Amino acid sequence: MVSVVNDSCIKCRTCVSVCPVDAFHEAEAQMVIDPDTCIACGVCISECPVSAISSEDEADAATVAFNAEQAKVCPNAND
Ligand code: SF4
Ligand code: SF4
């Protein structure tokens, strides 16, 4: 089960530095996770200071869709 970021994200970038596969992309107002890259390790979930990251089964459908859509069009956060 991949992880997703919700709109509580404050773009602190902590998650970007801990993800082993560079799955984070930078959207205009928040980070998002590419579901095709995330390996569901779960490391980022506990690192987020505002609890903006969860497993996709604990997020609403709009958040899951937003992550997938924005990850395709927004730059990788490690670039
Ligand atoms: S750690 Fe949380 S608040 Fe910080 S950029 Fe990542 S998702 Fe956003
Ligand atoms: S669950 Fe693991 S692979 Fe997926 S975004 Fe978080 S740190 Fe990266």
What is the per-residue pLDDT across 21-78, written as a single tens digit (0 to 9) for each?
Answer: 999 999 999 999 999 999 999 999 999 999 999 999 999 999 999 999 999 999 999 9
- Map tokens 């996709």 to a residue: 56
Q: Is the CB of 9 under 6 A from ligand 1?
A: yes
d(CA 79, CA 48): 20
pLDDT at 7: 98
CA distance 9 to 51: 8
Question: Domain residues of the chain, as ranges?
Answer: 3-73
CB 53 near ligand 1, within 6 Å: yes
Picking from 56, 61, 58, 51, the residue whose alpha carbon sits closest to that of residue 23 is: 56
Ligand 2, atom 8, lies closest to the CA of 19
Range 4-29 average pLDDT? 98
Does 3-73 carry CATH code 3.10.20.740? no
Percent of the chain with pLDDT over 70: 100
Give the pLDDT of residue 60. 98
The partner residues of 53 in beta bridges, in order of sequence, read: 5
pLDDT for residue 46 = 97
The amino acid at 11: K
pLDDT at 35: 98
